[in-house]
Chains A and B, each alone.
Chain A
Amino acid sequence: MDGVLLGLGLVVIIAYLWYVSLVKKRNAGREALSGIDVQLKKRANVVPNILTIAKKFMDHEKSLLTEITELRTQVTNSYDTGDADEIKQHLAAAERLNSKMGQLMVTVENYPELKSDNTMLQAMQTYNEVEAHISAARRFYNAAVTELNNAVEIFPGSIIASMANIKVMPFYEADEAAKAPVNAGDYLN
């Protein structure tokens, strides 16, 4: 009888420690997500500066500028950090904004006056640094999410996770356009 009680006690202790570790990993994931949001907010603050300068020179790119403005608003909207789908949508919108901004930076090359504008140069330098910070935040987030997801999906963690309602979190993945193969011929011709 004592042996059964001891065994049961041990199981309870192990299950509790497992639960603690799962909660810690979920919180680490959320902390990393908030780190991304801090960087996205920084980018959202830089984008209007770039758009204001760009508008003066880029008359033919109005649709792109409008799209960027809309995406910026979408990214700065609040979302539920406990809902995996909302996180996924939020990160996808952030990545679309990144992609459109990349498109804008390439288009700037066609406007020599804009390209040589000192304010624009400074804004682009700041933007590139924010992007590097976002990339670092993404690496941190994805590392935290990998640890959480492994713990949630592998038995017996999966049972404790489902009982404690701890769910997997989505990865912050690169935009599909960024993943597409590059045809060097398009640039060289």
Chain B
Amino acid sequence: MNIVSFIFGAPIKAKRQSKSLVAAGDELVSLQAHYDEHIEPLTRKFENRRVAMLKTLRQRMYMSIAIFLAIFSVAILIDNQQRLDIPWVFFFLPLIPLVWWSSKPISRYKSGVKELVYPKIFRYFGDDFTFSPTDSMSLSTLKRSKLLPYYDDANFEDYVRGTYKGIEIAINELELTKEVKRDKRNETQRVFRGVMVQLSSHKKFTGHTVVVKTRGGFINFLSDSFKSLSRAKLEDVRFEKQFDVFSSDQIEARFLLTVTFMERLQELASCFSGKIQCAFYEDKLLIMLASSENRFELGSIFNGATFEYEFSQINKEMRQLFAMIEVLKLDEYTGL
């Protein structure tokens, strides 16, 4: 089913047929076991909810279309009779509450999934893993990373927290916006949207190192610094084409940015299909993944509520993060 066939009255049926989980060979068994024990029991309940949601959605859409057409016709009639010359935008105003009312069942269904299913998905990575659609990271800590662009407003969504090999992991979706003046009007412009990943470290970072997307040869020729950090030229030409590195400690920058780490960073970027920047500071590693995609969201509402795709996808992304911890050996206590 798709949106067109849905509107034109295609029958709404429960889909119990599952797609298989996707994971690296040796992990598939444990992934399947967790799925069978914790997630699969919820699928029947959520599939019934999804079917009910689609039925309500269609009813409301039909009613909304009818109400809108009625209001629209009356408005045109009055406009013609009274010669009011109502601006055309006003004819479409009733659409706003109608769209909100129609889509309410979808948001209710999705928030239900986030409240009940997602915490169980994240529990796979450890008993202390929690998922909350409302909690958030500390904005002042993020600001100190020197990665955030200039912004006026910050909105957080979907917060994940847990520990892996004693390393605290926090993941949060973030949107940053700023006000810009255009034609004597104030407009809100998005300056960042994506995921912030914060990893604690048992090692002490004495300096502050940032890896940012390359500013281009001309700017680098003019300036060798970034927010009071000095440029660290690395030997990897491929990496240097994509990123610029700035640090307050040149040796630490080279210690942290090994070839393996650089490769992992690029892999992570491709996994999140977005641009990546990161900062090592205050004994933390902050990874900033710009992505227009909304993470931890459900797939299409026309697909069955099996959550196998979501589970496989989240597992793939989390494994990349765990690999970063291992590459950087953030979990080792060395006493330095």
Contacts and interface: CB of A to CB of B under 8 A. Distances in A.
Interface in B195-247: 203, 232-233, 235
A135 B233 CA distance: 15
B251 A126 contact: no
Interface stretch (A94-102, A137-145, A150-158, A179-187): A137-145
Contacts of B333: 122
Interface string A41-62: 0100000000000000000000
B332 interface: yes
B334 A136 contact: no
Contact of B250 (A32, A122, A126): A32
Given A35-B250, A132-B255, A125 B332 contact: yes
Interface residues of A, number: 18
Contacts, number: 41
A126 B255 contact: no
Nearest to B252: A136
A55 to B, nearest CB: 21
Nearest to A31: B250
Contacts of B203: 129
B336 interface: yes
A149 interface: no
A133 interface: yes
Contact of B336 (A42, A135, A139): A42
Contacts of B253: 136
B334 A129 contact: yes
A105 to B, nearest CB: 16
Contact of A129 (B235, B254, B336): B336
Interface of B: 203, 232-233, 235, 250-255, 258, 329, 332-336
